[in-house]
Structures are given as structure tokens and as C-alpha cells.
Amino acid sequence: MQTPWTPSTPTPLPEYPRPQLTRPDWLNLNGEWDYAILPKDAPAPKTFDGKILVPYPVESLLSGVQKSLLPEQRLWYRRTFPHPLPLSRAREPHGGASRRGAEGGGRALLHFGAVDYECSVFLNGRPIGSHRGGYLPFTFDVTDALVAGENELLVSVWDPTDTGLQQRGKQVLQPKGIWYTPISGIWQTVWLELVPEVSIESLKLTPDLDGGSLMVEVRVRGAGGGVRVEAEAFSGGEKISSGGGQAPGPIQVAVPNPIAWNPSNPHLYDLRVRLVHDGQTLDEVGSYVAMRKFGLVKDSHGYLRFALNGEPLFLYGPLDQGFFPDGLYTPPSEEAMLFDIEYTRALGCNMIRKHIKVEPLRWYYHCDRLGMIVWQDMPNGGRIDGETVAILSLILGFHRNDTRWLGRFGRADEAVRAEYRAELQGMLDHLHNAACIAVWVPFNESWGQFHAKEVGDWVKQYDPTRLVDHASGWFDQGGGDFNSKHIYVKKLKAPARGRRAFALTEFGGYSLKIPAHVWDETKKFGYRFYETSAELTDAYLALLENELMPLIARGLTAAIYTQTTDVEIEINGYLTYDRKVEKMDAEKLRQAHARLYSLFN
């Protein structure tokens, strides 16, 4: 099954992968690599099975392999590249230019956007490093392992998928229902970057809308003392302010009369950040930031409402899994990634719940510039409750205490819990600068859930700039900012008023099969089925009119419909899985969604 987008160049996804920390000197290593699948404990291969197109998962059609990687196997990748001097140049909107790292020597960094799950990296036969975790980026300094001429890069990957307790999202070895095809190996961009000896490793950007300023914190690589951070802010190409101080900061940059970011005016300020020593610029990067704040406010009836920039805002949008039939976790192209966001926006939605997945940074960049608010899930691991518990929870409100008998959740081992916490913190750090993210979701429907109230409290303390949905859907432990409900099959209703805001974080799931546009003609999954597009549209509009809209007056502040697209045998999307067919009347949906916001106001 294919989407309308296929890679059109030998280097798929050629765009600079990190829009909020840009430099011009980099080399994209996506493209054809050699691959081999061997027993897990076998030595590195001397010959390879064929070619794989990176960064598509080995199970995907676009990888050119389309084979499952089993837990008792290991996937090997190999490619060569020339010594990275000089590197190619690239410029991005909201990026700006930076000084070439090649001048005066420097360091060569090898970046991986994401590799699922455990990998080791070798360069010219030399071990470079290893990494565990399928959703976060990692970097190795490979300067000392480079040789003149061609360099050989070798990567090995092991992935237990759902036979392990690691964070894995909705991947299973035997897909069915709401569980999908596994993703193994490299699935985000691989790239080389040349930086100066003393360089900016990361930025942490925290806007203060009320105070009209931006806090900039810089992690510096290779620095001794006496290094200064300088930052400049631009609006519409015009410099508006600057600030500076000793590294790593924080430093304050004034943003006079700030233009507040919101869905109707997603204004972004460009930034240039540099390191300076004795008047000489050591490194410079481009970035951007939005001036906005998220919170809760009480309305005149005493209900807590989601607030953007101090003003109540009703949030409505779809659950978004981020799967493609040809690339699985990896979008076929930048255009494919952008299409889903733009279609959601065209339907009149102002929010997306990114479900059980961390996307490439460019996805968040597009949400930032288009004004799409995001509820961000932590990918879940541990143990999944069976169908009986799911039915009891959805229909009868079955509840568990998640502070005891943690073996039920696959979290009895402290090492497993520690790995979850470390990856959760890693996700918060990695996505901190994404202006669009309003809410963190540590747990969903009890998957691998443990100590959710404690975890939610920690997230609030670690990132006080955002809200928290601590246990989305089931097994609410009384924490976080939201009383978060998933309601399928039965009638929508509001909970008793409490100290938290009421959010309907999953509902709907109305389904329609479109022949010739389904993953499997013999199987289907959904919560209510219809025979025609007209019937589905009418049912959807009736659900909003008769059940959802009355809840707004009773405190409902956000609602998330299942879902953007069909995914494998789930046929409950606004769009078919291949993105070729709209399943409902889009204009009627736009009008209904506009009515939701008008009722809130």
C-alpha cells in the first residue's frame, strides 16, 4: 500500500533535521546502505544481504527490504562516506547562517535522529559508542576515528519489540486491532556535522510572555572558562534586541511588545546565538522561538478551562498515530509529513494529540509555524492490559491503583522503571523548545503505568511551562491538570466537577471501509461502522451536536477525536491510510468545528 509520496532523490528526507539549532556545514547520510540480518550473537558480517534505504525501518515497503527483525536477530548496516571536509551547505527558514566549523579545525559529529532499539556504532573498525531507546536522538564525536579518503560506518541494531518491557509504542510482532507493524533500526535521519572545537551543544529556550523576555541556556561542548553567550532576536527579518552573559547562562533577551503565538497568528521570532571568547566568535547557530504561555483559568461558572496566553481556548483535534503504510514510522517525504498537519488544520482543528510516538523535530517545526497546538504522549512500554480489562475500563469504569502489584503493568523491576523515567526526561529535554507542545502525557490507558501521580507531579515540577495529563483515559490517580476520559461506544458524559479541568482525550472512532484503500480487505477494527461517506458524516455531526457540544457548558475544555487517518486495520480515520480519500464531507466538518469554538466563547 502506497501514499502519493515516494522518495524522489537518492537521499530521502534531505531537509536539515534540527530546525532550532542550525548550522550550514553538514552532510546527510540518508540513502542506500548495505544491510544484513544475522543471529543476534553472530559477529559482524563480511558480506551483506542487499541494500536498504535509510532512514526507513527495515519492516517498511520504502526500505526496500520489508522484513521483520525478530528478537533473536540483529540488523547490520554499512555505508562509506568521504572525509567530511568540506561538507555541503544548507540553510533553513528561521535558521540563519553560522560560521563554518571547518575554519581553524574542529570536530566531526555523527548524529542519529532515532534508532529502535539498541544499537552500536563502529567507524573504520573502531567502536564509537552505543545507545538504547527507540525515540530520542544521540550523537557521537567521530573526529579521531576518521581517515583520509573513504570512511566505513557500521551500525548494529537489536530490537525485542513487544517481547521486552522497553518503551515501544504500538508496535507488536503479531499486529492486530490497535497494534501495528513493528519498527526496527534506523528510522530518522543520519547526518554528519562539522563544529568548532568549542561549540554549542544544545539550546534551552524558555519564553516569558508576560515579562516580554526570553531565557536562553546554552550547553557548551569543549569549553574552558571565559566563554560568553550572545543572542540576537529578529522579527520579520528586523533585529529587535540582543542579550549576553557568561556561558552557559541563563541569559535574558528582551522581546519588546511581544507578538503572542496562537493558532490564528503563529508568529515566530528568529534567533542567532553565538559563543564568543576575547572578542572572537567561536560558534554560531540559528534558531527560533515563539512567545506564548499555557495554563488553566476559571470561567464565570467556576470551571477550569485550558488557556493560551491567559485567554480560555477550546481545543479540538484528532488523535494522530504518525504511521504511513509505506514508511511506517518514517514519512515518505517532507510533503507527506506536512500534509497530515495541513489537512487537520484545514478541517478547522487547532490541536493534535501525538499518540505514543516522538516525531522527527521537523514535524514540531511545522506545527510551530502553522499554529497547531500539540498534546504530546510519552511512548509506552511495560505490559499491556488484555481485552477484558480494556472492556471493563471503557464500559464499566474498572480502576486499579498503580502504586502496588506493579508486575501487572510490567514495572516490577526498578531498572525498567528507571529506564522509563530517564527516557521521559530525555523526551522533555529534547522537545522543550517546541512552541506547539502544550501538554505532556506520561501514561495512556494503563500501558506500563506506575506511580502516575508521582510521575505527573515530577513532570509539572521539571517543566512548569506546560500542563500534564498524567494518566490519559484509564486508571486516573487524581494527579495532573486534567480529568482525562476516553469514551467509546457509550454516550459521552461529563464527570462530577473537581479541582482539575475536564478533557475528553479520546472519543468517536467512527469507521468506514473504502475498498481498494485499506491495509487488509479481510479485517477491520473500529467502534461503530457505517456503509457510506454520507452516513459517516451525518453520524459524526450528530455526535458533535447531540453529545459533545452540550458538554462544553459543563466544563469540557478539550476533545480529541479518533483519528487523523486509518492505521492498518483500524478504519476510523478522517482519511484513508494511503491519504488518498477523504471519508467525510470536509466542509461540513469545518462548519461543525467552528461551532464548537463559538459555543466555548
pLDDT digits (tens, 9 = 90+) for 91-118: 343 443 333 433 446 899 999 999 999 9
Cα distance between residue 51 and residue 36, in whole Å: 9
Name the residue type at position 220: V
Q: Please give the pLDDT value at position 86.
A: 64
Residue tagged 557500521 (cell numbers) = 154
**Cα-trace Rg, the chain:** 24
User: 452-462 vs 414-430: helix axis angle to the nearest 10?
Assistant: 30
Name the residue type at position 35: Y
Q: Over the stretch 46-72, which tens digit does the pLDDT of each residue have?
A: 999 999 999 999 999 999 999 999 999
Q: Please give the pLDDT value at position 96.
A: 39
User: Cα angle vertex 409, ends 354, 506, to 5°?
Assistant: 30
pLDDT band for 257, please (50, 70, 90 cuts). Answer: very high
Name the residue type at position 361: L
Q: Please give the pLDDT value at position 396.
A: 66
Q: Over the stretch 161-218, which tens digit does the pLDDT of each residue have?
A: 999 999 999 999 999 999 999 999 999 999 999 999 999 999 999 999 999 999 999 9
SS3 575: strand
Find the mean pLDDT for residues 389-399.
70
Strand 351-354 relative to strand 251-254, pairing: unpaired
Using the predicted structure, report yes or no on whether residue 85 has a pLDDT greater than 90.
no
Cα distance between residue 147 and residue 92, in whole Å: 30
Q: Which of 324, 332, 360 is nearest to 137 (CA)?
A: 360
DSSP bridge partners of 375: 353, 439
Cα distance between residue 156 and residue 527, in whole Å: 41
Cα distance between residue 354 and residue 382, in whole Å: 20
Q: Helices H, strands E: what count in the chain?
A: 8, 33
SS3 79: strand
Cα distance between residue 297 and residue 490, in whole Å: 30
**Count of CB atoms situated within 10 Å of the CB of 598:** 11
Q: Over the stretch 283-338, which tens digit does the pLDDT of each residue have?
A: 999 999 999 999 999 999 999 999 999 999 999 999 999 999 999 999 999 999 99
Helix (H) or strand (E) holding 454: helix 452-462
Task: Tell me the DSSP string of 49-72.
Answer: -EEEEETS-TTSTTTT------TT
Q: Please give the pLDDT value at position 95.
A: 40
* Percentage of the chain lying above the pLDDT 90 cut: 86
pTM of the model: 0.95
Find the mean pLDDT for residues 238-256.
93
DSSP bridge partners of 437: 374
Using the predicted structure, report yes or no on whether residue 262 has a pLDDT greater than 90.
yes
Name the residue type at position 322: G
Residue tagged 453520524 (cell numbers) = 539
Cα distance between residue 315 and residue 16, in whole Å: 31
Range name among 27-31, 383-387, 470-474 with the lowest pLDDT average? 383-387
Cα distance between residue 178 and residue 527, in whole Å: 11
Find the mean pLDDT for residues 458-475.
96
Report whether the peptide linkage leading into residue 515 is cis, meaning its omega lies within 30 degrees of zero: no
Q: How far is CA 240 from CA 93, 99, 256, in A?
A: 18, 22, 8
SS3 247: coil
Q: Which of 130, 585, 170, 86 is nearest to 357 (CA)?
A: 170
The pLDDT mean for the chain works out to 93
SS3 2: coil
Strand 437-441 relative to strand 373-377, pairing: parallel
SS3 186: strand
Range name among 219-228, 280-289, 565-574, 584-593 with the lowest pLDDT average? 219-228
Report whether the peptide linkage leading into residue 248 is cis, meaning its omega lies within 30 degrees of zero: yes
H-assigned helices in 263-360? 334-346
Q: Please give the pLDDT value at position 90.
A: 37
Distance between alpha carbon 3 and the CA centroid of its chain, in Å? 21
Distance between alpha carbon 125 and the CA centroid of its chain, in Å? 33
Report whether the peptide linkage leading into residue 250 is cis, meaning its omega lies within 30 degrees of zero: yes
- The phi, psi pair for 276, rounded to 5°, reads -130, 140
Cβ distance 589 to 348 under 8 Å?
yes
DSSP bridge partners of 560: 317
Q: Which of 290, 311, 209, 262 is nearest to 557 (CA)?
A: 311
Using the predicted structure, report yes or no on whether residue 388 has a pLDDT greater than 90.
no
Find the mean pLDDT for residues 375-386.
90
Helix (H) or strand (E) holding 591: helix 586-600
Using the predicted structure, report yes or no on whether residue 282 has a pLDDT greater than 50.
yes
